[in-house]
Structure 1
Amino acid sequence: MKKLIFLVALTFATLIMVVIASHTQGLNYSNKINELYVFGDSLSDIGNRFKNTGRVSPPSPPYFQGRYSNGPVWVEYLSSNLGLNNKQINNFAYGGATTLNSTVNDIPGVLAQVYSFTKAHQKVNTNALYILWAGANDYLSGVADSTASVSNLSNAIQSLVTAGAKNILIANLPDLGKLPVTRNSPYSSSLSSVTSAHNRELAKSLNFLSQKLDNDTHFIELDVSLLYREAIANPAKFGFTNVTSPCVNNFAVCDNPDEFLFWDDIHPTTVAHRILGEAALKELKIAY
């Protein structure tokens, strides 16, 4: 009888410890991240190109303080939700960037951004979150094959991992054939096809890398493609009334930007960025 009581008590104590541990992990997931490093293009740029063009591009106003939107972009919403201050955010994203390991027209590609960073920091902060989102400019500029672009992103990820990065968030692409600038163009179908190919190959690449690397390396995938599809299929769910047209047109701004998915012909509004930031936070909660 005493043995039975002991076993029951032990089982109950173990269960309580598991519950407490899992609850604590859920509460403290954000404490694992104490810095943010961002590599990408205009979707993540918080003013780098604006500064380097003498505060000319993008024109502000109507754009917000050098962002390619009408307010903060998604990495800013994410960092705020993680409780990070400006000194803990390191943003190398640059409007117009491709995935290339080169600088074209003073615009560093994402692989060039990462290589420059890892060359200067051969050992990086293992408690930081490293963000990569790029590829759209490759295809919008005419690249028809996704192989090289995904390879560039894969090489960027491996460079960060080699330097010691343990937490890497990678976003895929929205349907580039459904942007206001492309949806009625002759290139809409081909852009949709190359976007799908990019997202498939990126997922395969991440799966391969996750199997190849240590178990303590976390890849967090942000499915931007799905979010855009859901917003376009069910605008009211996200508070949108317009998911096809840009809010700003020839510097004329619409009266209700918070109800628009797109700020201009390519870039999302800050409300859409907030949704992306919240989705990224949700993925981090799942990862930890």
Structure 2
Amino acid sequence: MRVLAVAGLLLFSPLYPALASSIDQIVTFGDSLSDNGNAANALGGQFSISGNSNYAKNAATDGPNTTPATAIQGLWIDQFASKLGLADPKPFVGLAGTTPVPNYSGTNFAVASALTGSNPNFSLSTAFTSGEVPYTSDQVGIYNAFNLNNRTALNPDALFTFWAGGNDIVHGHNPVTAADNIMDNIETLKGEGAKYFLWINMPDLGKIPLVAGDPLLSAAATLASDAYNAAYAVDVLALRAQGLVVITVDVNTLFSQITLNTTTPAQGHAGLNPDLYAFWDGEHPTTAADSLIADLAVTDFKAAGLTAVPEPGTWGLAVLGFCLFAAAIAAHRKRRNA
């Protein structure tokens, strides 16, 4: 019996950190870098930019017309959730045929083209009919409205992720204000009971293919990215001083170190393997680059001392494994005693 007890302990011990962890859900805010279906569903089910639909069906990344086809699927947020064993945050915009409708079980509120702060033309009452893009503050408002509709409170065991600000810079807005807007969003959620956050910094936008060929635009974008990241660093310290867990993910450094092709977008070039390129178009990463971001995010998540509660399916496999183990022991005993 002692041997069996020890075996059972060893079998289940890897699950104890998950039991002690508070992270069992991911809630996502941001722009196209994290939007895994909201803009696509708002457009009737296929993501496109200015009529160009050479993208994945649901997101601004690798499209279907590559040879060879990519071996990697999903944005960074999808891959991050998968690597942690958590449920993929589904888009809050669903589809009834080709008509966008609320998906009240969705926890991904990121929308392509979103800026930080609030869109003065966006309204919750016309969120699914106006065509207006909800900015990050509006996205937090939608999350709260969904909780109200579902008669649920904010999940204190959720990890809230933010990655935005690039569109603010592209539109010439103050990058410091963009970082501060996200800090305000985090403080709003803190006031509602949120404790765990993951906030990705700004890559050097001066080096993305969209502007890298123009020295003036490139220099301006680099300065704006640096200003955002300086404000980001100050804001993170202030948030942590409030007792929050704020995981930082340094994609700025990551993109300066990766060996993928960072100068040429892979989109529209027959015969190019997108897994060897960092960008699908002039500004959006390939799924290969997103995989590197997800890996870094997982490393930073674990470095923060957090673990993730597996999805129910994972628990089911663990229980099934134990049952099979117990059955094997019983069969062995029966043969030995026969």
Aligned match of 1:259: 276
Long gaps (5+) in structure 2: 1-12, 63-72, 91-105, 123-130, 306-338
2:295 aligned with 1:278: yes
Does the CA contact (< 8 Å) of 2:61 and 2:280 recur in 1? yes
Report the AA paired with residue 114 of structure 1.
V
Q: CA deviation at 1:25?
A: 9.8
- Report the AA paired with residue 247 of structure 2: I
Q: Which residue of 1 aligns with 2:55?
A: 63
- The one-letter code sitting in structure 1 at the alignment partner of 2:144 is T
Which residue of the partner structure matches residue 75 of structure 2?
A: 73
1:181 paired with 2:183, answer no
d(CA) in 2 for partners of 1:56, 1:110 = 23
Give a deviation string over 1:17-37, Cα, whole Å, max 9, x none: xxxxxx979954995321110
Deviations 1:183-239 (CA, angstroms, capped at 9, x unpaired): 11231101100100100101101101211x13xx311001111111112xxx1xxxx
Change (3 A) 1:197 1:82: same
Shift of the 177–159 alpha-carbon distance from structure 1 to 2, 3 Å rule, reads same
Pick aligned residue for 2:182 from 149, 153, 157: 153
Matched with 2:95 is none
Say if 1:129 and 1:29 are closer, same or farther in 2 by CA, change over 3 A.
Answer: farther
CA shift, 1:282, in A, is 0.5
RMSD, matched Cα: 2.5
Match of 1:97 in 2: 114
Any conservation in 2 of the 1:247–1:254 contact (CA below 8 Å)? no
Q: Report what 1:245 is aligned to.
A: 264
Question: If the length of structure 2 is used for normalisation, what is the TM-score?
Answer: 0.69
Secondary structure of residue in 2 paired with 1:95:
coil
Confirm or deny that 1:230 pairs with 2:222: no
Shifted more, 222-231 versus 87-96: the winner is 87-96
Q: What pairs with 1:22-171 in structure 2 (closer than 5 Å)?
A: 28=18, 31-58=21-48, 62-70=54-62, 71-86=73-88, 90-102=107-119, 103=121, 106-118=132-144, 120-121=146-147, 123-143=153-173, 145-171=174-200
Shift of 1:136: 0.1
Q: Give ranges in structure 1 of 5+ residues lacking alignment.
A: 1-22
Give 2:310's aligned residue. Answer: none
- SS for the counterpart of 2:285 is coil
> Given that residues 82 and 88 in structure 2 are in contact (C-alpha distance below 8 angstroms), is that contact kept between their aligned partners in structure 1?
no
Amino acid at match of 1:229: S
The answer to whether 1:200 aligns with 2:230 is yes
Letter in 2 for 1:118: N
Q: Secondary structure at the match of 1:273?
A: helix
Aligned CA distance change for structure 1 residues 87 and 149 (closer, same or farther; 3 Å) = closer
Q: 1 CA distance for matches of 2:19 and 2:82?
A: 15
Q: Name the residue aligned to 1:13.
A: none
Kept after mapping to 2: 8 A contact 1:126/1:164: yes
Secondary structure of 2:212's match? coil
8 Å CA contact 1:121–1:163 kept in 2: the answer is no
Which residue is 2:98 aligned to? none
Cα distance per residue 1:235-273 (max 9 Å; x no partner): 1xxxx2x2211001xx44452111101111001110110
1:54 Cα deviation from its structure 2 partner: 1.9
Q: 1:68 to 1:27 in 2, by over 3 A?
A: same
**What CA distance in whole angstroms lies between the structure 2 residues aligned with 1:98 and 1:228?**
22
CA contact (8 A) 2:89 2:108 kept: no
Question: Normalized against structure 1, the TM-score is what?
Answer: 0.81
Aligned pair count? 253
**Share of identical aligned residues, percent?**
29
